[in-house]
Structure 1
Amino acid sequence: MCGYGKCSLTAAIPILSAAGCDVCPVPTALFSAHTKYKVFTFHDTTDILSGYLDAWQKENVDLDGVYSGFLGSADQVAIIQRLYREYPHALRLVDPVMGDGGAMYPTYTTELCDAMAALTDGADVLMPNLTEASILTKRDYPGQNIDDATVTEILDSLLALGAMSVVLKGIDRDDGTLRNYVATTQSGGAGKVELSHVKLPYMIHGTGDAFASALCGAVLAGRGLAESARIAGEFVRHAMEHTRNQPNFEERGVNFELDLADLTSLVR
């Protein structure tokens, strides 16, 4: 959870709530601000998480889905796997947050990225960007402008790691369009679905978290995966358009509040 700059839990909780989810957060780290800022504090919460989940067990908390994102340490992978064991019926929704633009985030290490890869096996939905897909499949980062054959190859490599379905985010061929791709074990990479969205002429921190949260909300509201990815992409685009009017918008994060009705409409 970041105290300043909208991303991670400060994005996920309201977005999922708008889609009708009863959100039960497990904070894996506490930041004063997100890592785009030059100065931030970082507190790893690993030591408190076992007792936190023990208390849930004693109160018979049940979960329909486990949506994981940023991790504070490699040891937290075991915490998520504990949730998988204790809630075997829950959907496994994995946003393997590790980096962007070809680089790992400042608090990440090779050890943590290697541990994160364990969550791909058995994931019902895996949602990497191209940096994260490269880390997971141990290939060089290809940049965002990749052709259709490379997209298919990456999707097949991610499915081979054990994911049931993959949403690959952020392909940019410099033609004014951003593309996301959806593939499943049934379709394979060759049967992927392409979802295109108008590219805006600026970038904003936190859009990946907003996209993944909106996608998970749509899935849990009963929408199919390709439709959920389309809904999430348009939600983020609309939010970015509103964010452009916010001071220091590139750092502060995506201003999604005015567009939450797009998700609430899924469950009305």
Structure 2
Amino acid sequence: MSDILYHRNPEYIPRVAAVHDMCGYGKCSLTAAIPILSAAGCDVCPVPTALFSAHTRYPVFTFHDTTPILNDYLDAWQKEGVELDGVYSGFLGAAEQVEIIKRLYREYPNVLRLVDPVMGDGGKMYPTYTAEMCQAMGTLADGADILLPNLTEASILTGLPYEGQNIDDNKVDAILEALLEMGAKNVVLKGIDHEDGRIRNFVASADQGVEHKTQLVHEKLPFMVHGTGDAFASALIGAVMAGRDLAESARVAGEFVRHAMISTQHQPDHERRGVSFELNLGELTDLVE
């Protein structure tokens, strides 16, 4: 069993800053983080890193970088005495926004640092990302209480080659070891697929070492939808903030996403629109009842 990272007071609602983009259409980033973390009993404070009309899987989308407004935004939080228990970062609009996250770390030194290094998938960077942005994102690994990369992002962070989703345990260990050596305290590596009808995620900690990693296995559904990574990360963090240990939180998140995908297949345009988790939010609310 992995360590419990947050000890929940049942009478207190923890406050988490969600540093993500906002998409007007398409289920991802803040449109996933806000409802999912709220269902898990968290007070979500958005820090919008960019505004999109739709996510980048659509052929037409508008993009607005919010970097110029963010320091004033956080200045106002300081003046109002906003308190935080966690900082959950994801998709960034510019390399400079890494400094915004580090500012939050300086001003809230006791928060949990929850880093989903959203940069790409399927061996490719997302279209708004640059090598400079990826390099800056990598600096957030050092000191992260939880680092949540998929295999593409792990390759970008570590410099190890992306070899597809079907990798053996030795390769998993090498990736986990490299990520922990970057300074992450705990790593959740997502999306290993041995093409046997199952998806595997792995949890490892710096304290216990890669040899004591935990493997979580989930049924693989015969279709894909956009936004499952954001839903998984948000549900995992919600479970952590509900007082579950990290391995159990990863299990909860994996099953939440699987159940949400089952709900999603009945929705129009579901492959592009994204994962429809609304009917399954009760699974997360049950964590704090």
Partner of 2:273: 252
What is the rounded CA distance, in whole Å, between the counterparts of 2:182 and 2:93 in structure 1?
Answer: 23
Confirm or deny that 1:3 pairs with 2:2. Answer: no
Contact 1:155 1:188 survives alignment (8 Å): no
SS across alignment from 1:25:
strand
Partner of 2:148: 127
Pairing 1:111-260 to 2, within 5 Å after superposition: 111-260=132-281
What is the rounded CA distance, in whole Å, between the counterparts of 2:243 and 2:109 in structure 1?
Answer: 19
Pairing 1:94-105 to 2, within 5 Å after superposition: 94-105=115-126
Unaligned runs of 5+ in 2: 1-21
Deviation, 1:187, is 2.1
Confirm or deny that 1:53 pairs with 2:89. Answer: no
Partner of 2:18: none
Contact 1:20 1:221 survives alignment (8 Å): yes
Per-residue deviation, residues 100-123 of structure 1 (Å, max 9, x unmatched): 000000000000000000100000
Unaligned runs of 5+ in 1: none
Confirm or deny that 1:265 pairs with 2:286. Answer: yes
Deviation, 1:16, is 0.2
Amino acid at match of 1:143: G
Per-residue deviation, residues 174-206 of structure 1 (Å, max 9, x unmatched): 000000000001222221100000000000000
Amino acid at match of 1:89: N
SS across alignment from 2:81:
coil
Deviation, 1:131, is 0.2
Contact 2:160 2:175 survives alignment (8 Å): no
Partner of 1:80: 101
What is the rounded CA distance, in whole Å, between the counterparts of 1:196 and 1:2 in structure 2?
Answer: 30
TM-score after normalising by structure 2: 0.92
SS across alignment from 1:238:
helix
**Percent of pairs with identical residues:** 74
What is the rounded CA distance, in whole Å, between the counterparts of 1:224 and 1:209 in structure 2?
Answer: 20
Contact 2:189 2:202 survives alignment (8 Å): yes
What is the rounded CA distance, in whole Å, between the counterparts of 2:209 and 2:150 in structure 1?
Answer: 18
Partner of 2:88: 67
Amino acid at match of 2:214: V
The structure 1 segments of at least 4 consecutive aligned residues displaced by more than 2 Å after TM superposition are none
What is the rounded CA distance, in whole Å, between the counterparts of 1:195 and 1:160 in structure 2?
Answer: 22
TM-score after normalising by structure 1: 1.00
SS across alignment from 1:139:
coil
